[in-house]
Structure 1
Amino acid sequence: MNRINKIWLVSIFANLIMFIIFMNYLGITINDFLKLSKITTLMRIPNIAYISELIEPTIQTIAIAYVGTILGIIFSIILGILASRNMTINRIVYEISRVIIMIARVIPDIVWAFLLIPAVGLGAAQGIFAIAIHSTGMIGRFFAESIEEIDPKPLEALETCGATYFQKLIYGVFPQVMPSFVNYVMYAFDHNIRVAIILGMFGVGGLGFQFIIKFRVFEYDNVFAILLLIFIILLGVEKISSYIRKKILVEN
């Protein structure tokens, strides 16, 4: 048995032990898994007619995700440039930008939403800003790393020609990072649609809010209609994102 196989076996065994320890610590037993079958008692045929009443909540959910993503893109471009070693202004700006990106990224969207309640209250603004902050950290990190991995030769050529800092960004950096940047943005928007739905359950509005209302009054046929609509929306966004990413990869 070679060294790599031994490492795999040790890793699998160690994770299995940790899994058993944590299951025991949390008090999870086989009976808890068997209880999952009870979810079938909630299943109903979706009330398709109810979907026509969900047009406004659907638009609201997509709008919250879209506006939050756009704001995140704007801030992530600025911070991503400043947080890249090869394009930052100076070391202090680099470190500050890195810290801002890290804080925005490591705190989950839903936590940001709760932290924003004292400032903006419950509603669409809460969801938009929560998504924007987390998207800034998520996209900004990938953008900064992409800039650091670019080919330096175009930048050197532009510098030789006397190009300014912004000209180097426009003609030397952006053309190289644009494919990966668009890929990150599409992934972020796909993720943010899901986040907007979840945040809706906590007062932001949209489909998530409608889901909670119908679930609390035991209208399970309407609940499954909402779930069906959510599935269709997420599938559509995923297909569109996949098409755009493939188109960009082919062109580049």
Structure 2
Amino acid sequence: MERANQLIFKEKKRQNRVFLFGVIAVVLFSFVYLDVNILEIIVALPSFVQFIVSHFIPANFKNIATYAPLILETILFAVVGTYFSAFLAFFFGLLMSEQTNPILPLRMFVRICISLLRNIPVLVWASLLVYIFGIGNMVGLLALIFATIGFLSRSYADSIDEIGSTKLEALKSSGASFMQVLVHGLLPEFIPSWINWTLFSFEINIRASAILGMVGAGGIGIMIQTNIRLFKYHEAFSLIIVLVVMVLLTEFVVSQIRKKVS
């Protein structure tokens, strides 16, 4: 028995080594294929640091109050984009889950549609929507909603599938309606996952809202991009600091909420 355990342990070590060497080989091949020269990066690093220090520091907060509406826009993009998407994604999640949708063709159709939404990056959505709505808040909001619905629907469906079917089957066999099964069987088990996935998505969307602004979708990002193009690096740096603080505060608040609900 002991010898068998030793053989199993040696085999696992061999597999781990093979996997590690495989990863190293892929990384090295990627560097060579992309013609990335590490030495050039190391040599250019001092110049890059010098450029940042001389052009961006110190940050200029003189006009920061004038950007308050744009900062608020960025936050509201994330709020509306996340929680409107969370409402719609719950119903898509029900349609995608085997636990709540036994109709295979419908389930597969919804999964394919959601997969398309999920695999198109938010910046691609924004670039496409600019041609329809022009530059403005509508572009940023819709881009966030489309991308977030795809992500949350898949996450919700997986969470629903992970919920044990025993309780749901017991309710069904006792004659409970679909709504009774949903309210009394599924929701109590699903709500913690719903909260965690939605809060995680909100964190992501705070960052995404700022990035969307750089392609003309409104919010703080558009002013960061504008200031950099106008060589107003000190003002751009002040907005970058504000963005970092927003993200850190969001992560702190979200982590505290998670602790309360877990």
State the alpha-carbon separation in 1 of the partners of residues 101 and 135 from structure 2.
37
Unaligned runs of 5+ in 2: 1-8
Q: 2:116 aligns with which of 103, 127, 131?
A: 103
Q: Please identify runs of 4+ aligned residues in structure 1 that moved more than 3 A.
A: none
Q: 2:14 aligns with which of 2, 6, 23?
A: 6
In structure 1, what is the equivalent of residue 107 of structure 2?
94
Q: CA deviation at 1:241?
A: 0.8
State the alpha-carbon separation in 1 of the partners of residues 45 and 194 from structure 2.
40
State the alpha-carbon separation in 2 of the partners of residues 11 and 37 from structure 1.
36
Equivalent residues of 1:51, 1:229 under 8 A apart: no
Equivalent residues of 1:76, 1:139 under 8 A apart: yes
Structure number with greater Rg is 2
Equivalent residues of 2:61, 2:238 under 8 A apart: yes
Q: Aligned-pair RMSD on alpha carbons?
A: 1.6
Q: 1:182 aligns with which of 183, 195, 204?
A: 195
State the alpha-carbon separation in 1 of the partners of residues 12 and 124 from structure 2.
40
- Residues 28 and 109 of structure 1: CA distance in aligned 2, closer, same or farther (over 3 Å): same
In structure 1, what is the equivalent of residue 159 of structure 2?
146
In structure 1, what is the equivalent of residue 41 of structure 2?
32
Structure 1 window deviating more from structure 2 (106-115 vs 118-127): it is 118-127
Q: CA deviation at 1:168?
A: 1.1
TM-score, normalised on structure 1?
0.93
Unaligned runs of 5+ in 1: none
In structure 1, what is the equivalent of residue 207 of structure 2?
194
State the alpha-carbon separation in 2 of the partners of residues 57 and 10 from structure 1.
51
State the alpha-carbon separation in 1 of the partners of residues 17 and 203 from structure 2.
36
Q: CA deviation at 1:210?
A: 0.6
Equivalent residues of 1:70, 1:132 under 8 A apart: no
Equivalent residues of 2:83, 2:198 under 8 A apart: no
Equivalent positions of 1:60-99 (< 5 A) are 60-88=73-101, 90-99=103-112
State the alpha-carbon separation in 2 of the partners of residues 129 and 37 from structure 1.
41
For 2:239, the aligned partner's letter is I
Aligned residues: 249
TM-score, normalised on structure 2?
0.90
